[in-house]
Amino acid sequence: MIIRPITTGISNKNDTVPEFADHLFLTEVFESTFSHDFGLTGFGLITCLRGQTLFYINDQNLLLDSSSFAVVNRGSRLKLSGKSASQPVLVFFRSILADVVAAEIFHKNVDSEKEPTYEELRDRSLIEHIHYTRASLNSQLRQVMRLSQSCASFQALKTDALLRSLLQNLSEENYKAIAISSRLPVVKKSTRVDLYKRLSLAKNWMDEHLTANIALQNSAGIAMMNPEHFLRNFKTAFGITPHQYLMQGRLKLAKKLLTETSLSIQEISEQLGFEVLSSFSYQFNRQEGLSPSAYRKQAGMS
Amino acid sequence: MEQSQWSKFKLRVNLNTSIKEAYECWATPAGLEKWFLRDANFKDAAGNEKAKDSLLTEGDTYEWLWYGYPDSVMEKGKVLKANGKDEFVFTFSLGCPVTISVYQEAGETIVQLVESDLPTDQETMLQHFVGDSKGWIFYLANLKSVLEGGLDLRNKKEELVDVITA
């Protein structure tokens, strides 16, 4: 991996799409307001570990902080700007490795309902949008930075392993996105990409607001679609309704709280946004085949 | 030093042990976990997991985890050659081959490690040459320490970072 300040940029002479012989990790703490134009970029991810940074990817404006990141597709046009004390991070993956990983995932999943072409696998436009950060991403990026300046054994190999793990996760997500978006009843590619991105945005938003009282109109609003259109397309893409998706997420969280905390069943029910305990118990029983207290007992917690 | 000389390095350590025991420290998963790895998982070419005490063979693939690091820091690679007695070759950093030879010299057992085909482009040359050779120096010293004195020098705490022992 090569680590450099952002202002040294990337080499894309004559406005061509750059190829990366090694992973490139760009980061810098800016002392004053800044803006930087990268021109065309390779496949990577962008985030901001301190403060906020406004990234412009083609015609999208994304304000990112440590709770969010975005994927940049190979060949996209990228600019960024921000205020002092911000620390943006841009990671561009080794081009050949990105292709190898995509091809490996493709070969592992040959039985899936639709086999994407190699060109489709290299195209990450479906996941080129804002994602909400799992805490592990920030910790991995910080670990990459620490390791790059560390005296630890095999530090170059270990930073590569961390970046490969990020690349693997993004490539798997891209593969899933290709499979899911192929179910959408849209012929034109740009429309399908746009529709998939809107649905994903709403799905990610629901993940972040599992315990809130979310109505169909709220998630449809995030996707900038009318509720009926959103409901129909969400179900086609993901196989379940937005309500079922929310319920699944809540019950997954319930299982975590039941086995990892000593909160009472009533407290868990309230924390998950259920208005009455009986509704939580009913939904839990329906999905798991036993009550929340029986589940907790089975897991060895009293 | 010419640029091509950065593509390879050789390290040797003398051990007061038998060739067989030294070889098994490289060519069995349990042997590797004694002095090198937190978890050494190998699969044969058909995808079956290898037992921890089994001898590794050509075509086996591995997933290695390190003490002091979470599971996201996983090295993957392949056994390129294993003759069952004194030569063991595997892919390592950036897929570069590492050749282990075990032989006798002056009444002691020598483990010789050669890592070759390292990239020689300006930006990555130094970090892989220096980083890998530095890493192997510690681990070969730990191999000697574990085999001869029973003392494992590896840092096993994830909260302790930036030390040469992990």
Closest listed residue to residue A223, CA positions, set A239, A237, A244:
A237
Do A25 and A150 share a structural domain? Answer: yes
Please state the ipTM of this predicted complex: 0.89
Report the pLDDT value the prediction gives residue A154, as an integer from 0 to 100: 93
Residue B6 with chain A: CB contacts under 8 Å: none
Sheet arrangement for strand A60-64:
A34-40, A77-82, A53-57, A60-64
Asked whether A28 and A14 are in contact (CB, 8 A), the reply is: no
Report the pLDDT value the prediction gives residue A167, as an integer from 0 to 100: 94
pLDDT digits (tens, 9 = 90+) for B50-84: 999 999 999 999 999 999 998 989 999 999 999 99
CA distance A25 to A30: 16
Extents of the domains making up chain B: 3-149
Q: Label residue A107 by pLDDT band (50, 70, 90).
A: confident
Asked whether A148 and A155 are in contact (CB, 8 A), the reply is: yes
Do A219 and A80 share a structural domain? Answer: no
Do A254 and A223 share a structural domain? Answer: no
- A182, A197, A226: which is the final residue of a domain? A182
Question: Is it the case that residue B37 has pLDDT exceeding 70?
Answer: yes
Task: Find the range with the poorest average confidence among A18-22, A40-44, A256-260, B15-19.
Answer: A18-22
Q: How many domains, chain A?
A: 3
Q: Is A165 on the interface with B (CB under 8 A)?
A: yes
Q: Is A11 on the interface with B (CB under 8 A)?
A: no
Q: Label residue A187 by pLDDT band (50, 70, 90).
A: confident
Do A111 and A31 share a structural domain? Answer: yes
Q: Do A146 and B161 touch (CB under 8 A)?
A: yes
Report the pLDDT value the prediction gives residue B75, as an integer from 0 to 100: 94
Residue B73 with chain A: CB contacts under 8 Å: 143, 158, 161-162, 165
- A217, A238, A259: which is the final residue of a domain? A238
Report the pLDDT value the prediction gives residue A105, as an integer from 0 to 100: 86
Asked whether A133 and A115 are in contact (CB, 8 A), the reply is: no
Q: What is the mean pLDDT of residues B25-38?
A: 98
The two structure tokens encoding residue A64:
């990112």
Do A150 and A1 share a structural domain? Answer: yes
Do A201 and A82 share a structural domain? Answer: no
Do A192 and A274 share a structural domain? Answer: no
pLDDT digits (tens, 9 = 90+) for B91-100: 998 889 999 9
Distance from CA of B98 to the nearest CA of A (A): 14
Q: Percent of chain A having pLDDT more than 70?
A: 95
Q: Label residue B151 by pLDDT band (50, 70, 90).
A: very high
Q: Give chain B's contact residues with A (Cβ, < 8 Å).
A: 66, 68-69, 72-75, 92-94, 121, 123-124, 127-128, 131-132, 134-135, 138-139, 161-166
Closest listed residue to residue A250, CA positions, set A206, A289, A199:
A206
What's the mean pLDDT when you consider all of chain A?
90
pLDDT digits (tens, 9 = 90+) for B2-31: 666 888 999 999 999 999 999 999 999 999
Distance from CA of A146 to the nearest CA of B (A): 8
CATH topology of domain B3-149: Alpha-D-Glucose-1,6-Bisphosphate; Chain A, domain 4 (3.30.530)
Q: How many CB atoms lie within 10 A of CB A2?
A: 16
Q: Is A118 on the interface with B (CB under 8 A)?
A: no
- A238, A259, A276: which is the final residue of a domain? A238
- What's the domain range around A216? 187-238
Q: Do A157 and B135 touch (CB under 8 A)?
A: yes
Residue B160 with chain A: CB contacts under 8 Å: none
Report the pLDDT value the prediction gives residue A90, as an integer from 0 to 100: 96
Q: What is the mean pLDDT of residues A281-300?
A: 91
